[in-house]
Structure 1
Amino acid sequence: MDIVYAIWLRSMKRFIRSRSGIVGSILMPFFVLIFLGVGLNNVVTIPGLGGGDYFLFLIPGMVTMSVMFSAIGSGVQILWDRKFGFLKETLVAPVTRLEIMAGQTAGGATNAVLQGCCLLIPALLLLGLEIQNMAGVAVTLAFMVLIGFGFTAFGIAVASRTGDSAGFQLIMNFVMLPIFGLSGAIFPISSLPSWAVPFTLIDPLTYGVEGMRYGLTGVSQIHPAICIAVIGGFCIASTVAGAFLFRKMK
């Protein structure tokens, strides 16, 4: 476990020192939240949610967006470590690749959850979001952790099969936008046309968004037990795939 902790600690120190990266990753979803919320709050009504307040509907989606984008982006660190030789030094050390991958995943997921919290706290203080009880806080954090671990492992899996950071960014942009766009983060699933519903239901982030929404507002269009089962299964599957591909990386 020492190597897992050491790699996790390295990721945390890098996160703390990268102030511009923290600010940038928080401001983008925050500005999307403000612009969409201000523009559509008086136009869009969400039945059964805080009197139809679109701001309240949008906040869980934007927090999820912050966590997912940060988590997947952690995969690029694998490529930078390989480019500058740190990964080679780690791989030849008397530790298993599984431990290295576990440390990278834990560090990326922790960073992602912290960035999600950095967006959630202003939403609580400035935008009128009210969490009803501590159980809602626990549910919200649980889904943030599962989303963070699942998509960090997914990013590591892709990075393990990608030759350079530019290619990784291109693939991630191609993958992340459909995953986020179909997740119901910015519109209710019930408003989708019938042909789009199956695509939304096979999107793992949909269950993360709805689980977060349940924790923050008490309302969800998918039962929270189903949400945690699906996002938990995705977390396990992506971790197994990431560990397998990382072990095969040369």
Structure 2
Amino acid sequence: MSAALPVFRRSIRESWRGVIGWSVGIAAVLLLYLPLYPSFGASGQLEDIIKALPSQLIETLGYDQIATGAGYAQSTFYGLMGFLLLTIAAVLWGSAAIAGAEESGRLELDLAHGIGRAQYAAESTIAVLVRLLWLGALSGAIVYALNEPAELGIHPPHIAGAALALTGLAFLSATVGLLAGALTGRKAWATGAAAAVAVLGYVFQAVARQSDDLEWLNALSPYAWVYRQPPLKDGVDAGGLLLVWGVAVALAVASAFALSRRDLRG
């Protein structure tokens, strides 16, 4: 364990097969959905589908802009399937990084070899972040490559903003899992906490869209922080983007502090 960043290096080395699997899944979703837009959009089928749906459902799913290329990509991938895939990956990686390592006995073994607790948490966080950044960058690159062929008409810089927003949301869930794992040492708690943040964030913004009286729920929803202003259509909201990433970084720091203070023998 004398090499620099031993926990980070091992985590990346052991997870590359899984990263390839997630990459293939993301590419498959994008290659399945986005090339269909020209046939749907040009024929007006999307508008007909939207008109046939209840207005409450349209608002909940964010399908009000789906007839445009940017709205279609946002609704099908960034706001739904991509969000789901990256969140699942983030929850799994975040809950396993500390809590999973502690339950398996690996954490105690690594600490016995001279790795500090704060260092362990920090390197685990960086390993999760690097993997999520790769998935976010990959999704953005594929959307960029399909932008003209699929006639999406997205302003290229907006794709980068949407990728950062999606990655930030996933990283926020991951850091919740890291913190819960550092506090409890239980993978089930870490998984539940990380998933709850993502689910509640989505639900809060969906409910807020139903009534002006419930719009205050957007303040509690990381999903709404970055998606209330459609990033592919209008550009990502800088304030919301900074808030998501700022909270995620703060949670990562808190996880290092929590792990360094907790009695692992308890």
One fold, TM greater than 0.5? yes
Partner AA of 1:241 in structure 2: A
- The alpha-carbon distance between structure 1 residues 160 and 31, as it changes in their structure 2 partners (threshold 3 A), is farther
Q: In structure 2, what is the Cα distance between the partners aligned to 1:172 and 1:232?
A: 15
How many percent of aligned residue pairs carry the same amino acid?
16
Partner residue in 2 for 1:161:
183
Could you say which residue in structure 2 is the equivalent of 1:79?
Answer: 99
Secondary structure of the residue aligned to 1:95 is coil
In 2 relative to 1, CA 147–57 (structure 1 residues): closer, same or farther, beyond 3 Å?
A: closer
**Are 2:87 and 2:170, in contact at CA under 8 Å, matched by a contact in 1?**
yes
CA distance in 2, matches of 1:54, 1:138: 15
Instruction: Answer yes or no: is the 8 Å Cα contact 1:29–1:65 preserved in 2.
Output: no
Counterpart CA distance in 1 for 2:94 and 2:185 is 12
Distance 1:46 1:153, change over 3 A: same
Change (3 A) 1:240 1:180: same
Q: Please say if residues 74 and 152 of structure 1, whose CA atoms lie closer than 8 Å, have aligned partners that are also in contact.
A: yes
1:207–1:66 distance in 2 versus 1, CA, 3 Å:
farther
Distance 1:85 1:217, change over 3 A: same
Residue-by-residue CA offset, 1:166-195 (whole Å, 9 max, x unaligned): 3443444444311233346xx9x6x43123
The alpha carbon displacement at 1:88 in A equals 0.9
Give the alignment's Cα RMSD to 1 decimal.
Answer: 3.9
Comparing both structures, which one devotes a greater share of its residues to helix? 2
> Where does residue 88 of structure 1 map in the other structure?
108
Supply the distance in 2 between the matched residues of 1:51 and 1:26 (Cα, whole angstroms): 22
Distance in 1 separating the partners of 2:153 and 2:113: 49
Shift of 1:143: 3.4
Give the TM-score of the pair, scaled to structure 1. Answer: 0.72
State the SS of the aligned residue for 1:161.
helix
1:57 Cα offset (Å):
3.3
Judge conservation of contact 1:112–1:148 (CA < 8 Å) in 2.
yes
Q: Is the contact made by 1:64 and 1:209 (CA closer than 8 Å) also made in structure 2? A: no
Tell me the amino acid that sits aligned with residue 166 of structure 1.
A
**1:217 aligned partner:** 233
**Which region of structure 1 is more displaced relative to structure 2, 75-84 or 119-128?**
119-128
Structure 1 residue 70: Cα displacement:
2.2
Structure 1 residues 183 and 240, CA, compared in 2 at 3 Å: closer, same or farther?
farther
Tell me the alpha carbon deviations over residues 87-116 of structure 1, each in whole angstroms, 9 at most, x when there is no partner.
Answer: 112223333322211111111112222233
Q: Which has the larger radius of gyration?
A: 2
Q: Identify which of 174, 181, 195 aligns with 2:213.
A: 195
CA distance in 2, matches of 1:27, 1:183: 27
Give, as a single letter, the amino acid of the residue that structure 1 aligns with 2:254: A
Q: Which residue of 1 aligns with 2:73?
A: 56
Q: Is the CA contact 2:205–2:218 (under 8 Å) kept in the aligned structure 1? A: yes
The SS at the match of 1:236 is helix
Gaps of 5+ in 1: none
Bigger CA drift: 153-162 or 165-174? 165-174
Q: Report what 1:6 is aligned to.
A: 6
Shift of 1:233: 2.8
Q: What is the match of residue 178 of structure 1? A: 200
Count of aligned pairs between the two proteins = 236
CA distance, structure 2, for counterparts of residue 24 and residue 182 of structure 1: 30
Q: Secondary structure at the match of 2:201?
A: helix
What is the 5 A alignment of 1:88-127?
A: 88-124=108-144, 125=146
Structure 1 position 19, deviation (Å): 6.2
8 Å contact kept, 1:105–1:149: no
Task: Quote the residue 1:241 is aligned against.
Answer: 254
5+ residue gaps, structure 2, are: 51-57
Letter paired with 1:61: G
**1:33–1:195 CA distance, 2 compared to 1 (3 A):** farther
Contact 2:218/2:224, CA 8 A, preserved across alignment: yes
